[in-house]
Amino acid sequence: MNKPTKILIGMPVPETINNKVLIAGPVANGWKQDVRRTVYPLGERNVSLAPSVYEISGDLAFGRNKIVMDLQDLPERKDVTHLFLVDDDTIPPPGTLSRLLGYKKDIIAPVYPMFHYPKALWSVALYDENKPIDCTSDLIEYQDLPDKLFRAHYVGGGALLVRREVFDKIEWPPFERTPDPRCTEYLSEDFTFCVKAKKAGYELWCDPIIKCLHRKFGDLLQIFDSCYKQFRS
């Protein structure tokens, strides 16, 4: 649905000398992963990186929590300043970390496309000061994405940069599926992370210039029908 950002123009200048990033993410049982995701760290040449981590897990919440737990406990990761969570089906463009680090935010994310029939959406929701911290919010529709850094109400966990200290201050576990008291459904583990972070006093930020690939398999009839309705509306 979108092309990867090949060149990031006007990117913020990070203080990379004081930063070390761990790129990590849960991988489905069987080690199935897009090869572009595997080689993505090679495109981050201006950032100090810890060895990448691929946590085998059939559950996203468990995999992400295991990554965070090891980040906090393993001696060889004591010098890591940031965790960049990237799912096995999400491929950021080269230079993503250089740009995100330059904003000096505790929690910041790029965007990736999502398909919730019949709408094409982005992985973030706009901040609204009138909404409660734990209130769900509509994701930004594909054609309505802002063109500069903005504060978010929700950011997807498929690509998410978090400063290490955040995990020391929010409620454990950071990622968990929780019942939604307003309905019979469950809230996603990344939405719950956003709620816990906001309750701890953190703000969520998004750079919409960085657009990640999001590899999905879907029914072409639904995709074509959705696109047709979007174009006709």
Q: What is the pLDDT of residues 175-225, one digit of tens each?
A: 998 766 665 566 789 999 999 999 999 999 999 999 999 887 666 566 667
Closest listed residue to residue 49, CA positions, set 77, 91, 89: 77
Least confident of 81-90, 114-123, 169-178: 114-123
**25 pLDDT above the threshold of 70:** yes
Split at pLDDT 50, 70, 90, the class of 16 is low
The Cα–Cα gap between 172 and 194 comes to 13
Instruction: Dump pLDDT digits (tens) for 44-91.
Output: 988 999 999 999 887 899 999 999 999 999 999 999 999 999 998 899
Packed helices 60-73 and 189-199: angle between N→C axes, nearest 10 degrees? 50
Least confident of 26-30, 43-47, 107-111: 26-30
Q: Exposure string (b/e) for 159-173, b if CB count within 10 Å is 16 or more?
A: bbbbbbebbeebeeb
Split at pLDDT 50, 70, 90, the class of 15 is low
Work out the mean pLDDT of the chain and round it to a whole number. Answer: 86
**166 pLDDT above the threshold of 90:** yes
- Could you give the dihedral angle defined by the CA atoms of residues 137, 141, 142 and 143, in that order, rounded to the nearest 10 degrees? -140
Split at pLDDT 50, 70, 90, the class of 32 is confident
- The answer for 95, left when phi > 0, alpha when psi is -120 to 50, beta otherwise, is left
Split at pLDDT 50, 70, 90, the class of 7 is very low
Q: Which is more confidently placed, 53 or 32? A: 53
8 within 8 A of 99, measured Cβ to Cβ:
yes
H helices of the chain, where?
35-39, 60-73, 96-102, 164-169, 189-199, 220-232
- Kind of pairing between the strands at 107-111 and 90-91: unpaired
180 is written with which tokens?
A: 């939604």
The Cα–Cα gap between 129 and 78 comes to 36
Domain architecture of the chain: domains with CATH: 16-232 (3.90.550.40)
